[in-house]
Amino acid sequence: MDDSNDEKMNIYFRLMKTIPLEVKKSDTIRKVRTEFSELEGISLVNLKSLFFAGDWLEEDKNVADYDIKNGSIINIYMDSGFRTQVYLKISHIGKRITLDVDMRDTILAVKQRIQHKEGFTVCQQDLIYLGEQLNDSRTLASYNIGKSSTIYAVFRDGDDIDINVGLNTANFLP
């Protein structure tokens, strides 16, 4: 056996972002797929196939069989989305809950799930990740929120209301 097959190298996976994984040339594609699945918290059921240079990577072959080199990018075929779990820490009561989410979910969709699960209206919720308040129209993936991430929830009193005022400027004198 060629000892150079045990030399470690980095390859990259593209899945809405580029994700590095250290592998050996002697690793089977099955092992690489499993390690990536564990790293990103993606079920092997959903992680259907890996592709490199347009070729489908067979599970029983190894990295060297496909001439995958350090820095190569592996493409992924997923089924049924980008499901994972994140944690929600409710600051004022110290409660932590688990949410099943899809990485393509908007922050608004997450807030709606929280409303259904905890009873706090969407308008009462501010979600914070890594010190940044999250915008309702962006997705979890756009904030790089992934497997086992913790999002902090701050809830405002239900008495707060938003008032929008529209002015008809045609009635003002010049």
Structural domains in the chain plus CATH codes: 3-78 (3.10.20.90), 83-155 (3.10.20.90)
| Core vs surface per residue 25-54: b (16+ CB within 10 A) or e | bbbbbbebbeebeeebbbeeebbeebebee
Q: How far apart are CA 51 and CA 74, in angstroms?
A: 6
Question: Is the model's pLDDT at 45 over the cut of 80?
Answer: no
Predicted confidence (pLDDT) per residue in 124-140, tens digit: 999 999 999 999 988 88
| Tens digit of each residue's pLDDT (9 = 90 or more) over 66-84 | 999 999 999 887 765 567 8
Q: Can you give the pTM of this predicted structure?
A: 0.48
Give the model's pLDDT for residue 1: 53
Lowest mean pLDDT among 4-8, 23-27, 90-94, 165-169: 165-169
